[in-house]
Chains A and B, each alone.
Chain A
Amino acid sequence: MASLVGSRVERKEDKKFLTGKGRYTADITLAHQTHAVFVRSPHARAQIKKVDITKASKSPGVVAILTGKDLADDKIGGLIAGWKIVSEDGSDMKVPAHPALATDIVNYVGDHVAVVIAETLEDAKNAAELVNVDYKILKAVVETEKAMDSDAIHKDIPKNLCYDWLLGDRSKTKAAFDSADKIVKIDLRNNRLIPNAMEPRASIGDYNPSTEEITLYTANQNPHLTRLVISAFNAVAPEHKFRVVAPDVGGGFGSKIYPYSEDVVIAWAAKKIQRPVKWVAERTESFLSDCHGRDHVTHAELAVKSDGTVVGLKVDTIANLGGYASLFATVTPTYLYGPLVLGLYNIPAAYCNVKAVYTNTAPVDAYRGAGRPEATYMIERLMSKAAMELGMDQVDFRRKNFIKQFPHQQALVHNIDSGDYDAHLDKALEIADYKGFAKRKSDSESKGKLRGIGFSTYIEACGIAPSAAVMSLGAGVGLWESAEVRFNPTGNVTVFTGAHSHGQGHDTVFAQIVGDKLGVALENVEVVHGDTDKGPFGMGTYGSRSLAVGGTAIDKACDKIIAKGKRVAAKMLEASESDVDFKDGEFIVAKSNKKKTIGEIAFACYLPGQYGEIKSPLPEGDEPGLKETAFYDPINFSFPAGTHICEVEIDPETGETKLDKYSAVDDFGTIMNPMIVEGQVHGGVAQGVGQALYENAHYDETGQLVTASYMDYTMPRADNFPELKIDYTCTPATSNPLGAKGCGEAGAIAAPPAVMNAVVDAIGTDISMPATAEKVWNACKNLKKTNSKAA
């Protein structure tokens, strides 16, 4: 039988999307539904003196107007931060109250003040205009690096400091620096990004008075956890009376991992008014109130010997959390960032200090890569700078410091199980035609253009995550994954996963795994996800975890199916269980021609007796049915790594940066479907290029988000890219039986430093992201001035 795993299997889910039959939350219409519009703060920081709904309540079509006071009266809890971080001085992180609808104070433009529910969307919009909120405007705290020296925006949180966290050993690092021949320093800003999944967030609440159950349809990557949080912390409904459905979801990139204020309010409101309530974000609302990503200011220093050996690293970062601490906000700049600052290099001594600050901006949380892009950007820019200052070749300097032996215990947290970094570097140099760069550079120069090449040899920690390890670091949840594999009596299979697909192609890849493992045709495997009423509790999709953790849970459930199948087959074939082998969907008795297909075995499991010619006795002690569940908790993170090489051509007269060549060689361990993996790399790289060249969330000094539309926030478009060259190397992960490492975030992690190192190489001076035409043009102009002065 031809193997499905490893093949370019076309996606099972594509037809519905291509024919307009996808069903996203906004596509759902319930009988008697009402429409909700949120009244949001127009100010970055203000006291709410009064919310007057008198006039709005009389507006046509209004069903209800609910405020923070109503939430408090109903004892609905606020939003939570799910990962406890402890500061270097041993104190716990400081987290402000985060009511789903503000009562006393608003902390960013777009913060939620009231919800207007009406018969039509137009009625709700009109009434929302009439809600009169009396604000006392306060001075906003906006800039990341100034937050600690500004007014405290939350009660009892001095200096706006959530935590001052340290990873690593300061004294050991100092000793390493004392022994160094050279210290290379860099100051970096990791620009704030807005995730911009193409489907704006949406929520529909529906209360069933007969079962007293609330159903929340929501554009979410993580329906089980969303149900748990809204149930346990917001107390909207007990878990067994609360169903969360995340139907087709139009991209997430982290921004849909967590429950938002809107989810809490819409679920609660539906029960309160006893009618379905539908809310769909407009894009401007998404810009204002989706969690943003990145926003770090970092100073880092690298201690190097004159032969190019790196001996130590110091990293000091200020991370902006925005107005409140969102669900995974506190872990993103700490345990998802700090351990990764070492990159894939053997650096024996290091520390990473992170001060996380509150500002009057939208909450910042996990965005594709979450901490790892920030770490990679820092170390890869620093490595390039160090190579330049040492007068060493970029490639040789990196290669010299690569980790070469596996497993490798890093100086900070991670034990890397497998890898071969020379292999992906060599392959990348080849597909990028590094040898031809000098000629291309001189060709560019002859046209008056500047050409630069940039390297990014990156590593990430994925397969999130071994529960005991992360819980010891403060995680408020275990990060295992679940699966249920259900053989139906007629021989087809339904697979339930706790992971969630919103573009990743799980319907196909998980079916490939099951198809191969159980010998069932792909069209006879259905993958089900996104509904808490179907399948076991799961932890959702983020952190490149779905295959390594969720896929393994499926694999293990299949193992249990096969084990039971062997017992049943042995009984039916009157053989010893140890003589029964399972291959390509058949149970075969060794050294005989006796066999049963898995379909026959499944049928027998559901008909355990004699009926006419059907004779299928179950072994003693075995229950009828053929359905198995597995919960898989990984034993380690997985560590994808790779080399990305970028070439840019810059016109110094206009500052325009053209991405001319981009080559990526990644080691994702074992690959299930190369077509899908390539798609993940393309998309990740595009987001990384977006960060490097185009995207920037900009707040002005009063805390107004200046870039709150596609007219102002530059999304990468089709004409911004050349054809991307993609290849792989493979060292299988040893921490899961599939050998999978994860591929979803790699591009977004690797690309920003590859692109920026190329830009810096071309123009010969440091520049911050995004390298817009204006910035590059100014840098070229200033450089020209400096050069002419020097001459």
Chain B
Amino acid sequence: MKKITLEVNGKPVVKEIPDNTLLSSFLRETLNLTGTHVGCDTSQCGACVVHVNGKSIKSCTALATDVEGSKITTIEGLASNGKMHPMQEAFKKMHGLQCGFCTPGMVMSAVDLLQNKKNPSEKEIRDWLEGNICRCTGYHNIVKAVKEAASKM
């Protein structure tokens, strides 16, 4: 067991957890932040993407103890004062989601893309999202949503 201190969605968190707790399990089970999803067991699907100190990572592939002291943002922390983030708004407007399961990871990943590149081309968007699998949308409207968000941010 290890005590960790970090900030999750702007709130300080102190918890004692087994050393081998994955960040995804820590978020889902210890903190009940179930918006972060787990869709595979090989770090491929990207449904678990969260931000650690502003950078997107797959939370199924990090130990919670390794992000000690970090600032974590999950899909639950993206909206501010009840207003959805422009990326969330764009996904809604462009119908960038269907079943919603890959959506949190997709949105968190896309937000990080726009942090790195203000106006990505279609190819850059598609290449960036290569690590997030969606089975519903064929990615078409996800790409459109990211473009839409880029025009608004």
- Give A residues with C-beta under 8 Å from B: 10-11, 13-24, 26-27, 29, 196-200, 248-251, 253, 282-284, 502-505, 675-676, 678-679, 682-687, 709-711, 715-719, 721, 723-724, 747
Question: Cβ of A284 and Cβ of B135 under 8 Å apart?
Answer: no
User: Hey, which chain A residues are within 8 Å of B122, CB to CB?
Assistant: 723
A649 to chain B minimum Cβ distance, whole angstroms, is: 15
User: Hey, which chain B residues are within 8 Å of A685, CB to CB?
Assistant: 138
6 A-B contacts, Cβ less than 8 Å apart? A13-B100, A18-B92, A197-B135, A198-B39, A250-B37, A718-B125
User: Hey, which chain B residues are within 8 Å of A715, CB to CB?
Assistant: 133, 135
In the bound complex, how far is the Cα of B100 from the Cα of A251, in angstroms? 8
Given known A-B contacts A11-B92, A678-B95, A710-B133, A250 and B138 have beta carbons under 8 A apart: no
A254 to chain B minimum Cβ distance, whole angstroms, is: 12
Given known A-B contacts A199-B39, A715-B135, A719-B130, A19 and B76 have beta carbons under 8 A apart: yes
Question: Cβ of A283 and Cβ of B40 under 8 Å apart?
Answer: yes
Asked if B136 lies at the interface with its beta carbon under 8 angstroms from chain A, I say yes
User: Hey, which chain B residues are within 8 Å of A723, CB to CB?
Assistant: 122, 140, 143
In the bound complex, how far is the Cα of B47 from the Cα of A679, in angstroms? 20
Question: Cβ of B36 and Cβ of A709 under 8 Å apart?
Answer: no
Report the 4 A-B pairs with minimum CB-CB distance, sorted nearest first: A20-B35, A250-B101, A17-B100, A686-B138
In the complex, the chain A residue whose C-beta lies closest to that of B79 is A19
A210 to chain B minimum Cβ distance, whole angstroms, is: 27
Asked if B91 lies at the interface with its beta carbon under 8 angstroms from chain A, I say yes
In the complex, the chain B residue whose C-beta lies closest to that of A252 is B99
A692 to chain B minimum Cβ distance, whole angstroms, is: 13
A712 to chain B minimum Cβ distance, whole angstroms, is: 9
Asked if B98 lies at the interface with its beta carbon under 8 angstroms from chain A, I say yes
A140 to chain B minimum Cβ distance, whole angstroms, is: 25
Question: Cβ of A248 and Cβ of B45 under 8 Å apart?
Answer: no
User: Hey, which chain B residues are within 8 Å of A505, CB to CB?
Assistant: 98
Question: Cβ of A199 and Cβ of B101 under 8 Å apart?
Answer: yes
Question: Cβ of A721 and Cβ of B138 under 8 Å apart?
Answer: yes
- Chain B interfacial residues counted at CB < 8 A: 55
Question: Cβ of A18 and Cβ of B107 under 8 Å apart?
Answer: yes
In the bound complex, how far is the Cα of B91 from the Cα of A24, in angstroms? 20
In the complex, the chain A residue whose C-beta lies closest to that of B106 is A718
In the complex, the chain A residue whose C-beta lies closest to that of B140 is A682
Asked if B59 lies at the interface with its beta carbon under 8 angstroms from chain A, I say no
Question: Cβ of B99 and Cβ of A251 under 8 Å apart?
Answer: yes
Question: Cβ of A284 and Cβ of B41 under 8 Å apart?
Answer: yes
Question: Cβ of A718 and Cβ of B95 under 8 Å apart?
Answer: no
Q: Which of B29, B40, B84, B92 contacts A710 (CB 8 A)?
A: B40
In the bound complex, how far is the Cα of B34 from the Cα of A711, in angstroms? 25
Question: Cβ of A718 and Cβ of B126 under 8 Å apart?
Answer: yes
Question: Cβ of B92 and Cβ of A718 under 8 Å apart?
Answer: no
User: Hey, which chain A residues are within 8 Å of B130, CB to CB?
Assistant: 717-719
Within 92-138 of B, Cβ neighbours of A (below 8 Å) are at 92-93, 95, 97-104, 107, 122-123, 125-127, 129-130, 132-138
Given known A-B contacts A18-B88, A18-B107, A283-B41, A721 and B139 have beta carbons under 8 A apart: yes
Question: Cβ of A22 and Cβ of B100 under 8 Å apart?
Answer: yes
Q: Which of A21, A24, A251 contacts B98 (CB 8 A)?
A: A251
User: Hey, which chain B residues are within 8 Å of A21, CB to CB?
Assistant: 35, 76
User: Hey, which chain B residues are within 8 Å of A711, CB to CB?
Assistant: 42, 44
Question: Cβ of B92 and Cβ of A682 under 8 Å apart?
Answer: no
Q: Which of B44, B97, B127 contacts A719 (CB 8 A)?
A: B127
User: Hey, which chain B residues are within 8 Å of A23, CB to CB?
Assistant: 34
In the complex, the chain A residue whose C-beta lies closest to that of B94 is A675
User: Hey, which chain A residues are within 8 Å of B33, CB to CB?
Assistant: 20
In the bound complex, how far is the Cα of B93 from the Cα of A675, in angstroms? 10
Question: Cβ of B98 and Cβ of A20 under 8 Å apart?
Answer: no
Q: Which of A253, A282, A682, A719 contacts B137 (CB 8 A)?
A: A682
A661 to chain B minimum Cβ distance, whole angstroms, is: 14
User: Hey, which chain A residues are within 8 Å of B140, CB to CB?
Assistant: 678-679, 682, 686, 721, 723-724
Q: Which of A14, A18, A683 contacts B138 (CB 8 A)?
A: A683
User: Hey, which chain A residues are within 8 Å of B40, CB to CB?
Assistant: 283, 709-710
In the complex, the chain A residue whose C-beta lies closest to that of B127 is A719
User: Hey, which chain B residues are within 8 Å of A282, CB to CB?
Assistant: 41
User: Hey, which chain B residues are within 8 Å of A687, CB to CB?
Assistant: 135, 138
In the complex, the chain A residue whose C-beta lies closest to that of B47 is A198
User: Hey, which chain B residues are within 8 Å of A249, CB to CB?
Assistant: 99
Given known A-B contacts A19-B78, A20-B104, A27 and B34 have beta carbons under 8 A apart: yes
Question: Cβ of B132 and Cβ of A718 under 8 Å apart?
Answer: yes
User: Hey, which chain A residues are within 8 Å of B132, CB to CB?
Assistant: 718
User: Hey, which chain A residues are within 8 Å of B127, CB to CB?
Assistant: 718-719
Given known A-B contacts A27-B34, A251-B98, A15 and B84 have beta carbons under 8 A apart: yes
Question: Cβ of B32 and Cβ of A29 under 8 Å apart?
Answer: yes
